Structure 1
């Protein structure tokens, strides 16, 4: 029997207790989503418990969530260990959970079975648009994830493109589109902005273009460098690349060996001040080859910096013609879009203002948490 949400005295909105089940709590986009949610859950009448299934070398998000007052349970079980189902079910009972919310394939399977066994509604968020798996094991894992989500009451896609992909993959038409949200970025004063720009070599008369993402093949850094090579040196554009990842050494070697790139491309490594970098930029360039809903572009809208991005995945759900430019994922198109926007300051100013408005209406964490609350209420039995 499913418990009723805790109803406070005085007719206030009842609190819904939600267990978020995820494969682990190391660094990663899906894991960071829970950190964003922790800051706004209370205002939406949500109390969250986070269950990490498997160990990870640096569980950075577990520490962050605990610091925010969130109850975090780390099961420390090997990936796909069937005992996780019993442990999760025990935690759901102990913490009197109303709704189970799962993230990523492993947790989708474990959380869905445990939740349904106890009569709790299950919500699953998709975080990726996956290519066809290679090999039998990868195929089996994807099938298990799809099967687990079939037990869910609701499956959330974070973009319309992701929803279309999943409907075709799973043969289900009941996927709900709700983009994740992020906290409103802080403002950057004129003096701080000037300091950041000087540090990046974007002095007077230069246009600063920032890219912030993990350096993995699908993020398109090689495409970006191909585009930069096509941009005339007298365009006066400095490209700053924030992020780390397996391709960083290869990309740095290419830049160091190429005269057309050496003086215009900066590698910043991992940064914990990405919103400030985006606010200091004249434009944000996102050359991804596949992306469900990149958080960087939400932050770009929030700080009022226009975007040049590739027309792939869910990017078009974020970047509209009044907030940025979408280009086909090929070097000439990307280069032309960057040059055109870099040379049009008035257009950049208009796009920045439109971006801030779009952020508040569509991608703020408050809008997102309210949307989650509505989905949970629909999934719960009548009160």
Structure 2
């Protein structure tokens, strides 16, 4: 089955990286993927990763809200013989619905976020346009968590055509013990210390300020090193704050750009996720796949991933986050139990092959 995935752009990010995971396992579900991006990105990481997996990629170089977009997309998909269009993220939903209508093929939309309230009238109009496009032209709207489905229904979204279908991630290869030791040595993790890893992009909505507030509250004797990976516009500010604080400077490390995320996860003892929102954070799915327990804020769909059996849920306050970190830092047996349970749940519910097969079932239903 030929399925075209439409995205606004292919810069590194959660939904875009998810397409790489899907491409890895799609043939095992009988799916032939193609990916079309409305705009062009200077970062070719995702494009290269998709092409290495045999997925045709087209970047159309369109400006936002270009009136030619639907026609250009329809032409690109028709040339590639797409049987179904699957859209991701705002704007791609509207354009994809119009393009699928022109092609007379069905369309499916995945919701990836629980959005904040619109900032102004224009934002409200755009959100309304996306909802109407899904209501009128999408055969199904996919929510990635039950919490997200209820949020969307509250906006007046379609009730009967929303299906909950959580994302999945590819099972990572085991990390070589020597490589794990090397990573921990570079991050200056002492023997007997635990390593907590945050892989959230360094931007305002990812919760790094709360994370640092919590780390500053840790007792000086707590055997914990905190590593901040990823990148983003907030990195210079975060580096300045850490440098200005004795409590942070001795404990927080910034991971060098380009480090393999799978190796980082395999080198960590726990994952720290302090975002104020999230429908179903991919970072937590990847932690589960690596068998690493998480300390995560109780927001959005996070409790559908992290439970008391697989990690620790905390409120959006630095004190409880610090308490959870301090407790896990000194309890390797508990970390091992939580990590084992997280890995088992990942294999049962969030492994990428099962995800691809569930998508194939949805596509078959839509095309029937």
Instruction: Give the structure-2-normalised TM-score.
Output: 0.96
**Greater mean alpha carbon deviation, residues 173-182 or residues 42-51:** 173-182
**Structure 1: runs of 5+ lacking an equivalent:** 1-15
Query: Residues 23-66 of structure 1: CA distance to partner in whole angstroms, max 9, x if unpaired?
Result: 12222222212111111111100111111112333343223222
Structure 1 residue 131, shift from structure 2 partner: 0.2
User: For the residues of structure 1 that align with 2:183 and 2:248, how far apart are their CA atoms?
Assistant: 21
Query: Residues 72-102 of structure 1: CA distance to partner in whole angstroms, max 9, x if unpaired?
Result: 2222111111211112222333322211100
Structure 1 residue 269, shift from structure 2 partner: 4.4
Name 2:285's counterpart in structure 1.
Answer: 298
What is the aligned counterpart of 2:81 among 96, 112, 116?
A: 96
What is the aligned counterpart of 2:227 among 240, 251, 258?
A: 240
User: For the residues of structure 1 that align with 2:364 and 2:3, how far apart are their CA atoms?
Assistant: 11
Name 1:275's counterpart in structure 2.
Answer: 262
Structure 1 residue 178, shift from structure 2 partner: 1.2
- Alignment root-mean-square deviation, CA: 1.5
Structure 1 residue 68, shift from structure 2 partner: 1.9
Structure 1 residue 176, shift from structure 2 partner: 1.1
- Tell me the matched-pair count: 366
User: For the residues of structure 2 that align with 1:73 and 1:266, how far apart are their CA atoms?
Assistant: 38
The answer as to whether partners of 1:230 and 1:332 remain within 8 angstroms in 2 is yes
The answer as to whether partners of 1:182 and 1:364 remain within 8 angstroms in 2 is yes
The answer as to whether partners of 1:242 and 1:271 remain within 8 angstroms in 2 is no
What is the aligned counterpart of 2:134 among 132, 137, 149?
A: 149
Q: Give 3-state SS (helix, strand or coil) of 1:78's partner.
A: coil
User: For the residues of structure 2 that align with 1:74 and 1:185, how far apart are their CA atoms?
Assistant: 28
The answer as to whether partners of 2:40 and 2:59 remain within 8 angstroms in 1 is yes
User: For the residues of structure 2 that align with 1:68 and 1:306, how far apart are their CA atoms?
Assistant: 30
Q: Give 3-state SS (helix, strand or coil) of 1:170's partner.
A: coil
Q: Give 3-state SS (helix, strand or coil) of 1:40's partner.
A: helix
Query: Residues 162-202 of structure 1: CA distance to partner in whole angstroms, max 9, x if unpaired?
Result: 11111111332231111111111111233222221111111
User: For the residues of structure 1 that align with 2:258 and 2:301, how far apart are their CA atoms?
Assistant: 24
User: For the residues of structure 1 that align with 2:269 and 2:80, how far apart are their CA atoms?
Assistant: 48
The answer as to whether partners of 2:296 and 2:314 remain within 8 angstroms in 1 is yes
What is the correspondence of 1:219-368 to structure 2 with a 5 Å cutoff?
A: 219-368=206-355
Structure 1 residue 289, shift from structure 2 partner: 1.0
Q: Does 1:46 align with 2:21?
A: no
Q: Give 3-state SS (helix, strand or coil) of 1:162's partner.
A: helix
Name 2:358's counterpart in structure 1.
Answer: 371
The answer as to whether partners of 1:88 and 1:111 remain within 8 angstroms in 2 is yes
User: For the residues of structure 1 that align with 2:118 and 2:348, how far apart are their CA atoms?
Assistant: 36
User: For the residues of structure 2 that align with 1:79 and 1:25, how far apart are their CA atoms?
Assistant: 14
Q: Does 1:60 align with 2:45?
A: yes
Instruction: Give the structure-1-normalised TM-score.
Output: 0.92
User: For the residues of structure 1 that align with 2:265 and 2:283, how far apart are their CA atoms?
Assistant: 9
Q: Does 1:172 align with 2:141?
A: no
What is the correspondence of 1:201-216 to structure 2 with a 5 Å cutoff?
A: 201-216=188-203
